[in-house]
Structure 1
């Protein structure tokens, strides 16, 4: 599945808007069609290397959307549920399992 994401490729460089390939849904995940998201000062601190994070990374930890798919052991969610969140950490493509979000190939 193709997604559009803001990617931090190197410290201090501008975010680039890119098309990425999203991994298949795992059994313990949900896929949310994003309708609102943002990049805040924490994301720019990560991009600039203030908070050491492996790059490249897909940042942004606040958003809202609609559940489109549910893994077979993600029984708390149902399709078409509206959803919003604010994570304390941003997941990187190399460490997305930490936050339990599907991985985007960068």
Structure 2
């Protein structure tokens, strides 16, 4: 059971009676409306990224990076010599043909 502090009972009663519930509800609804607009904007942005291919490229690049890292890790674990062939292999022969052959065995 609620009891009001007697000296302020009348003030509390007047404050409750004068409270503008319609305005409070209106503000609450506007707040929800704003939240829905933000969500709608986010969904539209994500949809646009899907349709223009941006999201697909992000996924593809992520997977290619993981694959590349896994390949390098696998080759390193199995003794692959990354320095056996230089980047300019067409102009400069390898230092050791035996290192190239060991790489080919993998």
Same fold per TM (> 0.5)?
Answer: no
Identify the structure with the greater helix proportion: 2
Normalized per residue, which structure has more strand?
1
- Structure showing greater radius of gyration is 2
Normalising TM by the smaller chain, what interval? under 0.3
| TM-score, normalising length: structure 1 | 0.13
